[in-house]
């Protein structure tokens, strides 16, 4: 299956005829804002952005609307800080009330967050077509809450926008196929390209942190499987401390709270610890890192766009396409530092190999395809 053809037929006439705020774009976290920014911009006045507040820290969510050139959400709830079930229930309740007042023509959700599944459930309850961006992701690891969110959302959705052929195959294995499954690519490609600052700006970010290009490792850590257990968190931080190059660690609020609660602050002394970064600064750091060590799924994708090698500190990953050429999967333990230092010993060769590889997530036109496919079906 190849990428769906680009078509302008749906772009002008159908967008012009789209009623104002008639497409509900439900999101709640920083990655959703980043990946749906292109879709929201293309929809223009037709978009109604419903923010659940799953990421309620301004550093993790609020700042990204401005950085992505987006207006403030049309409506915002505050579901953050609750349990998973509490977040889904509160988001669903808020979305339900909003849809009663402003019944949309379609609902767009992205990925696998609690906000994603709440948006899909609400759309389904109202009999409104649900569009799932990034459909078909599977880790085949039911210990991950996100895996359940993905499966439920895919089976509720009316238009499934898959990023890769592998995602399409995952859906087919579950009996989801036909012309409502479309291979679009992933909006992460155009999002990264659009937000990557010019070289001079990127170098100024490095200079402010007293870093040199390819002279540091960028690490991120936030998943509950790595932060909730004090022994696991201590192991990962200890392993990061053994890496040969300086480690830059933008500290996620959840990780900061876990470090404090578990009495592990002393393990941060070897790192360059930063506050959560905006998109521009973070991409500057990412694009010049010798190596990335992360438990983020989205960051695995961004590494392929910027051709940076990564180590995923996880039990499993739903981004299978990124593993192999660009990265490797390593569960928490001594292999983290051993793998990192082995790669760093030949990092110039690694960078040279990656420099000629395209991202497996498409050609940078995913947002256009998603909007066109949706409008053609609505039209």
Question: Contact, 283 vs 254, CB < 8 A?
Answer: no
- What DSSP string describes 255-317? HHHHHHHTT-GGGGTTSEEEPPPPHHHHHHHHHT-SEEEE--HHHHHHHHHHT--EEE-SS--
Round to whole Å and give the CA distance between 274 and 249.
6
222 is catalytic: yes
Question: Contact, 44 vs 50, CB < 8 A?
Answer: no
Structure-block tokens of residue 204: 């100024």
Angle at 347 between CA 342 and CA 350, to 5 degrees: 105
Round to whole Å and give the CA distance between 156 and 151.
9
Strand partners, 272: 248
Give the H/E segment covering residue 75: strand 75-76
Round to whole Å and give the CA distance between 95 and 121.
10
- What DSSP string describes 341-369? HHHHHTHHHHHHHHTTPPPTT-SS-HHHH
Question: Residue 226: which residues within 8 A CB-CB, separation 6 or more?
Answer: 232, 233, 236, 295, 313, 314, 332
Question: Contact, 111 vs 31, CB < 8 A?
Answer: yes
Active-site pick, 132, 222, 288, 368 = 222
- CA neighbours closer than 13 Å in the CB half-sphere of residue 145: 13
Q: Which residues are catalytic?
A: 222
């Amino acid at each position: 299956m190849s990428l769906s053809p680009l078509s302008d037929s749906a772009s002008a006439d159908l967008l012009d005829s789209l009623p104002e705020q008639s497409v509900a774009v439900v999101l709640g976290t920083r990655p959703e804002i980043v990946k749906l920014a292109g879709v929201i911009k293309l929809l223009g006045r037709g978009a109604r952005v419903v923010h659940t507040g799953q990421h309620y820290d301004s550093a993790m969510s609020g700042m990204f609307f401005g950085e992505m050139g987006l207006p403030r959400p049309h409506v915002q709830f505050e579901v953050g800080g609750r349990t998973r079930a509490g977040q889904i229930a509160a988001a669903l309740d808020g979305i339900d009330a909003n849809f009663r007042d402003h019944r949309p023509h379609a609902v767009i959700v992205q990925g696998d967050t609690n906000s994603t599944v709440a948006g899909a459930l609400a759309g389904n309850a109202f009999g409104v077509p649900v569009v799932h961006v990034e459909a078909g992701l599977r880790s085949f690891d039911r210990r991950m809450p996100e895996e359940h969110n993905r499966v439920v959302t895919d089976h509720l959705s009316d238009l499934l926008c898959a990023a890769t052929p592998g995602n399409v195959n995952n859906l087919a294995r579950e009996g989801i196929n036909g012309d409502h499954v479309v291979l679009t690519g992933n909006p992460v490609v155009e999002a990264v390209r659009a937000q990557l600052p010019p070289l001079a700006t990127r170098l100024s970010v490095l200079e402010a942190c007293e870093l040199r290009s390819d002279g540091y490792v960028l690490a991120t850590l936030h998943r509950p499987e790595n932060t909730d257990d004090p022994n696991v968190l201590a192991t990962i931080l200890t392993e990061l401390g053994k890496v040969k190059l300086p480690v830059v660690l933008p500290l996620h609020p959840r990780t900061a709270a876990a470090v404090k609660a578990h009495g592990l602050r002393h393990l941060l002394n070897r790192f360059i610890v930063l506050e959560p970064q905006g998109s521009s600064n973070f991409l500057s750091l990412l694009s010049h890192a010798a190596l990335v060590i992360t438990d983020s799924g989205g960051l695995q994708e961004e590494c392929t766009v910027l051709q940076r090698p990564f180590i995923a500190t996880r039990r499993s990953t739903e981004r299978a396409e990124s593993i192999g050429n660009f990265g490797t999967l390593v569960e928490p333990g001594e292999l983290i530092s051993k793998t990192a230092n082995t790669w760093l010993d030949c990092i110039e060769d690694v960078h040279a190999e990656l420099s000629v590889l395209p991202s497996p997530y498409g050609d940078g036109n995913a947002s256009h395809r998603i909007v066109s496919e949706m409008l053609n079906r609505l039209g």
